[in-house]
Amino acid sequence: MDPLTIVQPAKELVLEHPRLTILGLALIVFSTSALWNAVPRGPWKKLPPGPRGLPVLGNVRELIGDKWLTFTSLREKYGDLMYLNAAGQHVVVLNSLQAVAGLLDRKAAVSSHRPRSIVVGIMTGNLMLPFLNPGEIWHRMRRASQDGLRAGVVPLFQPALHREALTLAVHMVSDARADRSTEWYGHIQRAVAASTIKMIYGKTAVHSDTDPDVRTLNIYLERLTRSATPGAYLVEILPFLQWFPAWMSPWKRMANQAFATDSTTFKRLFNETKGAEVEIDRPSVVKTLTERSKALGLRQEEEFWLAGAVFTGAQTMTGVLSWWLMAMILYPDVQKRMHDELNRVVGRDRLPTFDDCDNMPYMQAMVRETIRWRPIDPLGLPHNTSEDIWHNGFFIPKGTMLVPNVWAINRDPGVFGEDAHLFNPARHLDKNGKLGPAPADTKEEGHVSFGFGRRVCPGRFFANKMLMINMVLLAWATNIDGERGSDGKLVPFDVDGCIDEGIVVRPVEFACNLTPRFPKALSMLQDHLSELSSQDY
């Protein structure tokens, strides 16, 4: 079957088998209630506070819709740790920086597991690093990812990142001149995917978002993120369904087919890169894995899937750049200060480079602020406790799902100031206008969107560099605005809405006009891109 037509996962929701669902939920809740009543004076009475749930479904009302907003509104009443019952599954929401630092960072030895995900496990052959539980395979792949994506190797990829950012700027400005103000998302998606593919596989220029590899990997990514959404499949609630044969289980046929298709894709891309190394000395994650494979103890299949796992970050970076464009439209004063810094550091006679980035603290703060202001993963990826935990006098039983409320933490007035709900890069600067120290327990990032403890994102150094050069080049070349009416006023658009793509969210589509800041901007971009086109990158 054509890998591009593989069955998508988003439709087999809980209501697929309503009778089984109701029966199963009733049995789970009954068993849980019986256990609860059997230990009236035990540690279970020390669970964190939380809203009262329904008799059968538990806190289903709090688990529908934009959950991060619901959890944030409940924080004032229930505090930093909030307990929910998801049809018998213990859930503790972590609503503060102190809570995630105390539980996910300092107690990482017992809080680094992932909740069970039967469908994702089959789809990935239990080889997808972000979803693996600690064990031999996880330790090998984690060590390899940290080795291949460490801060020291990121400069090797800067020429490729610069070229893709340059290509994005040319496309965005050209579209603005042609009055195609709503096509910007596709260009960002292509640029991010191309940068990531080039970093992983060393592949030469990807000119379109219809490129076969970009398209195939984007389909894989969409399928994975939607399948990882809690409750996306009935089998996650009624685990005994996993033992049903494939002919009775459409989800199992989809998952098995996905694993076969994605394994073939990852193996092909990996081996193509490995074979090309004889002729071309180009940096790539594959090259690093190949050179270090024996020392890292990786099996061949683990290499294929680890390289594929790195691509999962592409969707998050596309979302961050989308939110940044929105911020530029909503906060023209911020955009002016950004342009002032670019005028001072770079001017208009040459294009900015990575060498300029260290001299632009406001742009560095811009990257931090964008990720903080509208986190693309408002609830992060949940953790699971592998042992009973006591924290601040509360009992958190083994097997509890720990949900970090990244949205609330990134917008906590106690950490980021009373204007934490606003977009203000200056909050990350010191009194001298230099990039200041980040708040404690944010790992010098100025936010918590890159994860916690042993689950912190190994690709964060690459992500920061990629976001920086894309923002710098777009800002240097363009004025960023929304759609304006005949009266010159900004046409209202959905500022607070979002498109939920499973694990990450992005803005609802909006018009974005990027016009050249000065007459020669577009021609300078095009000329430099032409020069680079004759080179390997």
Cross-strand bridge partners of residue 83? 92
What is the C-alpha separation between 402 and 383, in angstroms, rounded?
A: 5
The single residue listed with the structure tokens 């979302």 is 319
Give the position of tokens 């891109």.
Answer: 529
Say if residue 498 carries a ligand binding annotation: no
Our CA angle for 284, 285, 291, nearest 5°, is 95
CA distances to 121, 169, 185, 313, 494 from 318, rounded to whole Å, are 26, 14, 8, 9, 18
Q: Are 283 and 202 in contact (CB under 8 A)?
A: yes
Give me the residues paired with residue 346 across strands.
none
Helix (H, G, I), strand (E, B) or coil at 461: helix
53-62, long-range: CB < 8 A, 24+ apart: 53/84, 53/85, 55/29, 56/22, 56/25, 56/26, 56/29, 56/87, 57/25, 57/29, 57/87, 58/29, 58/84, 58/85, 58/86, 58/87, 58/88, 59/84, 59/85, 59/86, 59/91, 60/86, 60/87
- Distance of alpha carbon 161 from alpha carbon 517, whole angstroms: 23
Q: Which two tokens stand for residue 508?
A: 């609802």
What count of other Cβ atoms lies within 10 Å of the Cβ of residue 98?
A: 18
Give the ranges where 281-403 is alpha helix by DSSP (H).
285-296, 300-310, 313-330, 332-345, 354-357, 361-373
- Phi–psi pair at 127, nearest 5 degrees: -125, 10
Q: How far apart are CA 393 and CA 356, in angstroms?
A: 50
28 contacts: CB under 8 Å, gap ≥ 6: 87, 88, 237
Q: How far is CA 218 from CA 122, 190, 221, 237, 423, in A?
A: 19, 10, 5, 28, 30
Q: What share of the chain is helix, strand, coil (3-state, %, to 5)?
A: 55, 10, 35
Q: Which amino acid is at 388?
A: D
Are 84 and 93 contacting, i.e. CB atoms less than 8 angstroms apart?
yes
CA 420 vs CA 121, 410, 411, 424: distances in Å: 38, 8, 5, 8
- Closest CA relative to residue 433, chosen from 344, 332, 330: 344
Look at residue 499 and give its three-state secondary structure. strand
Question: Residues annotated in the binding site for heme, as ranges?
Answer: 457
Which residues participate in the annotated binding site?
Answer: 457
